[in-house]
Amino acid sequence: MEYVPITKPPVDQMPVLPNLRDYGETRRHWSWDTVRNELDGVPGGGLNKAYECLDRHAKGDRRDKPAMLWEGKNGERETYTFAEFAREANKAANGLSSLGVEKGDRVFMFLERIPECYFTAFGTLKLGAVIGPLFSAFGPDAVKDRLADSGAKVLVTTPELWSRVKEIRSDLPGLEHIVLVTRRQQAEPGDGIVLWDEVVGSQSDDFETVSTDPENYSVMHYTSGTTGKPKGAAHVHNAIIGQYATGKYVLDLHDEDVYWCTADPGWVTGTSYGMFAPWSNGATSLVYEGGFGANTWYSLIEKYKVTVWYTAPTAIRMLMKAGDDIPKKHDLSSLRYTMSVGEPLNPEAVVWSERVLGLPFHDNWWQTETGCILIANYPALEIRPGSMGRPFPGIEPGIIDEDGKLMPPGEEGNLAVRPGWPSMFRTYWNNKPLYDSRFQNGWYITGDRARMDADGYFWFVGRADDVINTAGHLVGPFEVESVLIEHPAVAEAGVIGKPDPVAMEVVKAFVALKDGYEADEKLRRELIRFSRDRLGAMIAPREIEFVPGLPKTRSGKIMRRLLKARELGLPEGDTSTLED
Ligand code: PRX
């Protein structure tokens, strides 16, 4: 990839000084203990994410500072100071406790980005229980699989979203309560169904955050792999150390900032960087419930005077597509620093934003499993467009070969990281063997292919597995194939990511039909609807192609790589294991 350094003003002429001024020095003197000492710890001992994000600010100088500026999808506006936010979270903790939620229990949130989503998250953490965020566009099968695997005790949702998935109830005997937030639509309580206003509304706003051990579980995010259903990557309270540190040094958050992370808490960016990093740093954070719209997004930046903005390549490419005239109609002068994550950020997007917004997007890299940013283009460093940047202090990534041996700069291999940073996941829920399989020769294997240049910048090459990245969200082909083969017409299905100029990849399914079914347009549409109804539009295939049969290995495994090579018109590679 071409190396085009972006010219930036000298560090001391930037509007707000970056927290990380000397990358080399900071790396040399880095200590996680120093960061830990910048946090408070629960007064009774231990570490709790909710205490670091809310309680310590609610008690201190930031008590009346806005923590959350919320704008609803219908234009509603609410502001919560750190003290108000802490009180709402206390009420949620008392409410959940009245339902019998105890330390270690799993409370899942199937909510849009409404304030109650954030109150639930922090109320749950205050109790020492574990949050499981679900993306609000999921369908019933996607929700059921995640609730069943995690053994969730409580689901907090809305009447609208619950009516979409309620058929799953009888399959989830461990799910004791469904709490409905009736902010927009009324509902009746019923068998196991309780109302937020009744359970939480009348509670005391006093609650003493539980003294959790740093190694107690706090958050689990379901993420996709090549095989099997999604796995719950479980994180502990100690993760707040990495989230706080990267909030300070990569997001470069200062007290005067208004920060906006566009990600949904159903995905890890929306929790690590939509909640933990900004609030542990005491920053004011904008939460916008609505979806993408170029005009709306620029208007929000103008209206709330957003200074630090964290978004994703697909959104940036959509902004590019919407044209250069729209940003010109808005005053975007508040912006001082912009970042991107989740998929490769093409160099043109960096050059575009430098030209149109006057600021280049700073790409950074991490994963659900890593819990926090590990590689970044820092505010104080020269950006290399197309590169993910350099390692965070205290992080040691490497490019290794198939035997786990370090490879020289410039060569492509598996991106691996030496384990041991505080935000690293601690297990895959109910799947320790899979967790163990992610380590080799003292390295954590990320599943990405990459190379490092002579100056220590990392460059993403692709995934080492069949996981699909659509608009920055990972989709496991198996989850989609399992739903397709439930349709009576489908004999077998193979699912791949098909390159897309905006979303990076879209989900494409190859389907072989059972005898007696006709491969026509009507059936194709029916299969798309069938998968959407079960999985939600984000996971379901966008495209379906009928094929007479699927290429399989002699042991019967569908060769997705071959399907992909054929789709792209690439050489088919090693087909020696293909069945005759
Ligand atoms: O393949 C990499 C891609 O997204 C994966 C992680 O996705 P997920 O676990 O959903 O976490 C999302 C939060 C970042 C990675 O293994 N990815 C992430 N960031 C980048 C990236 N690919 C290229 N460039 C990036 N900056």
User: Does 273 sit in the ligand 1 pocket, CB within 6 Å?
Assistant: no
Give the type of residue at 190.
G
Query: What residues form DSSP beta bridges with 258?
Result: 284
Ligand 1 mean position, distance from CA 339 (Å): 14
| 190/303 Cα distance (integer angstroms) | 42
526 by DSSP, 3-state: which?
helix
> What CA–CA distances, in Å, run from 380 to 12, 218, 336?
10, 32, 13
Ligand 1 mean position, distance from CA 502 (Å): 16
User: Does 269 sit in the ligand 1 pocket, CB within 6 Å?
Assistant: yes
| 141/363 Cα distance (integer angstroms) | 34
Q: In the CATH scheme, what is the code of domain 470-568?
A: 3.30.300.30
Ligand 1 mean position, distance from CA 474 (Å): 8
User: Does 283 sit in the ligand 1 pocket, CB within 6 Å?
Assistant: no
Ligand 1 mean position, distance from CA 448 (Å): 9
User: Does 468 sit in the ligand 1 pocket, CB within 6 Å?
Assistant: no
User: Does 272 sit in the ligand 1 pocket, CB within 6 Å?
Assistant: no
User: Does 314 sit in the ligand 1 pocket, CB within 6 Å?
Assistant: no
Ligand 1 atom with minimal separation from the 364 CA: 26
Looking only at the bridges linking them, the beta strands covering 443-452 and 458-463 are antiparallel
Ligand 1 atom with minimal separation from the 272 CA: 13
Listing DSSP states for 435-498 in one string gives HHTTEETTEEEEEEEEEE-TTS-EEEEEESSS-EEETTEEE-HHHHHHHHTTSTTEEEEEEEEE
Ligand 1 mean position, distance from CA 189 (Å): 40
- The reported pTM is 0.95
Angle 396-400-405 from CA coordinates, rounded to 5° = 100
User: Does 166 sit in the ligand 1 pocket, CB within 6 Å?
Assistant: no
Q: Are 352 and 338 a contacting pair, CB within 8 Å?
A: no
- Ranges of CATH 3.30.300.30 domains, the chain: 470-568
- Ranges of CATH 3.40.50.12780 domains, the chain: 11-25+28-399
Ligand 1 mean position, distance from CA 443 (Å): 18
Ligand 1 atom with minimal separation from the 368 CA: 9
User: Does 138 sit in the ligand 1 pocket, CB within 6 Å?
Assistant: no
For the chain, 580 residues long, give each residue's pLDDT as a single digit of tens. Answer: 444 556 666 666 666 778 888 888 888 999 999 999 999 999 989 999 999 999 999 999 999 999 999 999 999 999 999 999 999 999 999 999 999 999 999 999 999 999 999 999 999 999 999 999 999 999 999 999 999 999 999 999 999 999 999 999 999 999 999 999 999 999 999 999 999 999 999 999 999 999 999 999 999 999 998 778 899 999 999 999 999 999 999 999 999 999 999 999 999 999 999 999 999 999 999 999 999 999 999 999 999 999 999 999 999 999 999 999 999 999 999 999 999 999 999 999 999 999 999 999 999 999 999 999 999 999 888 899 999 999 999 999 999 999 999 999 999 999 999 999 999 999 999 999 999 999 999 999 999 999 999 999 999 999 999 999 999 999 999 999 999 999 999 999 999 999 999 999 999 999 999 999 999 999 999 999 999 999 999 999 999 999 999 998 888 888 999 999 999 988 777 666 666 5
Pocket test for ligand 1, best of 365, 369, 468 (most atoms within 8 A of CB): 365
First-to-last CA distance in the chain?
40
Q: Tell me, which fold does domain 11-25+28-399 have in CATH?
A: Rossmann fold (3.40.50)
> What CA–CA distances, in Å, run from 38 to 57, 217, 406, 416, 531?
13, 22, 34, 29, 48
Ligand 1 mean position, distance from CA 13 (Å): 32
